[in-house]
Structure formats: structure tokens, C-alpha cells
Copies of this chain bind each other. A is one copy, B any other.
Amino acid sequence: MSDAKRRRLEVPPAKVLGRDEYLAKLREVLCPMVKPAAMYNSLVGGITTDQELMAIPIHDHALVRGHAIFDTCSIVGGRLYRVDIHLDRHMDSAERARIPLPFGSTVQECKDQMRSIIAQTVVTSGLRDGGVRFYTSVGPGTFNLTPEGCKSAFYVVVLRPEELPVKESDLDGIREVTVDMPLKPPLLASTKTNNYMLNALTSMKARDSGGQFGILLDGDGCIAESSVLCCVFVTEDKRLITPNFDKILAGTTARKVLDLGGRLVAEGKLAAVSQEQIPQAVAKRCVEMLLCGGDSHIIPVTHWDGHPVGSGSVGPITKKLIKLVHEDAKSGDGDHYELCYP
């Protein structure tokens, strides 16, 4: 090699930090950020409330390969709300994603252990209301592509209501826009993984045009989903409709809304409840539109692509559903666990 090609890279001396200095700096930078009230980490088999310890190893495959799944549940009045439906979906996601279970030798044992850990972490947090996010990852071990040599990990964080990604602040209705963004392949779309870059970009693109979460269409021009929420419509003839789950994630809140919609059918307030293919043109003629997710968050959409949905204000069925969902979360129909706080 000629000397001309021997480019030297002159760099300032590296700043190597000792443990205490590193953690102190990290604590400082995390200070203005979200502060989980507690975090469980299966790698250490325990819970921390130190912000600077709430972390995952740099070689955890959740980061290295996006080889992780997550789910959520709610804390309502000192009870865990709908943890089991989320854990069931989590176990399904683990199987599709081929992530070795971090606990037990059966799916049921793993699920029981996860429920218990979630409860312990919530109780440690002291929060009576808020949300839980939990992650199961191929875990740390290597920078390879496959899980061999890694140790599956389970992480749980407990968040205050104001720190949850979907909040209650939009009950007066939001404006939404259709976003041109490709859907994920079905395997990825139907598994609740952390491969959510397209979801994030969908929301960012919606915000560019005055929307918030964005409305996605499938390849046939039918409604798919929003970035992290399901889309539900009320037709002129009083049918409550939402897309099939074949190309999208099986929304737990959408399933609750369908259940509660059934009650409104019984009361004569709705003609029918249906999961079906919804061409965009059909959706655009609907009189009410809502997005739902996060167990109890029903977000009315009053304007879509610059036009009012129905009257342009929150419709009666949407209002009724918000009320029913909140009642369900507060009073419970069995999908609750009382927690024993000290």
C-alpha cells in the first residue's frame, strides 16, 4: 500500500468512564424522560426502581435483531385488567416468533409465572392506575442472527397513566388522514413484535398531514388498521363494523368493542356487529368512526381526509361505547385480578 493511501485518523482521546461516573451521567440524562415506576428484569430475577438500571443489554436480540415481542395490560383501581387476553396473545406471538419461553416448561406455566411477575411489579410500583408493558425477547448472548447462545428474557415496566402511549385526551375527536404506507407481511403484522418502525413512520406521516395515527389500506383498497390502533365504523344503517384480523394484529380492544357492540344490538341501538372486509368507499360513507387500543382507549375520529365523519362531532354510538368500555374496566366482568398492595 502506498503512503498516500495510509490515511491516518486523528481523533481526540477517548473518554472512558468508570462505573459511578457512567451511571451518574446516565441518571442525569434520563431525568427529564419517562420514569417507569418499577421494572422487572428476568436476567437478574428481580425488580428495580432505579431509572439508570432500567435497561437491556446491548446484545439483547430485541435490539440486535428486533427478535422480541411485547404486550400490555391495564391497572384500573388496584386491579389488573385484561392481563389474560394479553398474555394469551403474547404466548401466540412467542410461538410465531420462535422465541424460547423464558419460564416454565409449558405455555401455561410460563403464562402463570408472567402474570405473577406482572402483579409483583405493579404492587412494587404502588400504582393503582396506569399501564403495564411487557417484553419477551430472545435475550442477550451473541450478535448472531438466530437465538442459539442467547438467554430468553422477560422485562416488565409499570407506567403512570400520563406516560402511556395512547391517552384519554382525545375524547372530543381527532382528525385523521389516510396514509400511503405498505402493510407488514402477514406473519409480522399478526405477531405483536417490536418491529414497529413502519407503525412509527405511519404515525409520523399522518402528523405531516394533520392526522395523528394514520389510516392504512390493504392492497385491495380496504381498511387495514391504524398505526397502533384498530379502526371501527358505524354504518348509516347502524352496523358496527371493523376489519378482519387476517392482515392485521388481533386487537384486544377491538374484540372488547365488538363484545360491547353486541349489547347495543340487544338493546336495539345497533342493527348488527360485524368483522368484514371494508372497502375505503364504504368506510367513507360511515356516520361514526373510532380508533381503539390500550384496553380502554376509544378515540373518536370526527374528520377524515379533510371531511367530517357523519355530523363531524362525536356520535351517539361512540359515546355509548366509551361509557361501556370505561364501565367494563372499572367494574369488571371477570377479566380482573385484585392485587394485594402492602
User: Is B207 a contact partner of A197 (Cβ separation < 8 A)?
Assistant: no
Residues of A1-51 contacting chain B, CB below 8 A: 1, 5-17, 19, 21-23, 25-26, 29-30, 33-34, 36, 39, 41, 43-50
CB contact between A145 and one of B12, B14, B227 (< 8 Å): that residue: B227
How far is A97 from B64 in the complex, measured between Cα atoms in Å? Answer: 17
User: Is A5 a contact partner of B203 (Cβ separation < 8 A)?
Assistant: no
Verify if A186 is at the interface (C-beta below 8 Å from B): yes
User: Is A56 a contact partner of B59 (Cβ separation < 8 A)?
Assistant: no
Q: Which of these binds chain B: A65-73, A169-177, A273-281, A313-321?
A: A65-73
Size range of the chain A interface in the assembly? 35 or more
Across the interface, which residues of B come within 8 angstroms of A195, CB to CB? 66, 195-198
Across the interface, which residues of B come within 8 angstroms of A332, CB to CB? 1, 5
User: Is B123 a contact partner of A11 (Cβ separation < 8 A)?
Assistant: yes
Verify if A310 is at the interface (C-beta below 8 Å from B): no
With A17-B44, A165-B143 already in contact, the answer to whether A98 and B201 are too (CB < 8 A) is yes
CB contact between A151 and one of B29, B116, B182, B204 (< 8 Å): that residue: B29
Across the interface, which residues of B come within 8 angstroms of A191, CB to CB? 197
Verify if A337 is at the interface (C-beta below 8 Å from B): yes
Across the interface, which residues of B come within 8 angstroms of A6, CB to CB? 336, 338
Across the interface, which residues of B come within 8 angstroms of A8, CB to CB? 337-338, 340
Residues of A227-272 contacting chain B, CB below 8 A: 227-228
Across the interface, which residues of B come within 8 angstroms of A9, CB to CB? 80, 115-116, 119, 337-340
Across the interface, which residues of B come within 8 angstroms of A17, CB to CB? 44, 46-48
Across the interface, which residues of B come within 8 angstroms of A48, CB to CB? 16-17, 19, 22
Instruction: Identify which of A11, A22, A197 gathers the most chain B CB atoms within 10 Å of its CB.
Output: A197
Chain A to chain B contacts (Cβ below 8 Å), 25 pairs: A5-B332, A5-B334, A6-B336, A7-B336, A8-B338, A9-B116, A13-B120, A16-B47, A22-B48, A29-B43, A33-B141, A33-B142, A34-B142, A34-B149, A54-B57, A61-B200, A65-B194, A67-B200, A143-B165, A145-B213, A146-B203, A147-B200, A184-B188, A188-B197, A195-B198
Interface of A toward B, CB cutoff 8 Å: 1, 5-17, 19, 21-23, 25-26, 29-30, 33-34, 36, 39, 41, 43-50, 53-68, 80, 97-98, 115-116, 119-121, 123-124, 133, 135, 138, 140-147, 149, 151, 155, 157, 159, 163-165, 181-188, 191, 193-201, 203-204, 207, 213, 227-228, 331-334, 336-340
Top-3 shortest CB links A-B: A182-B185, A55-B55, A14-B120
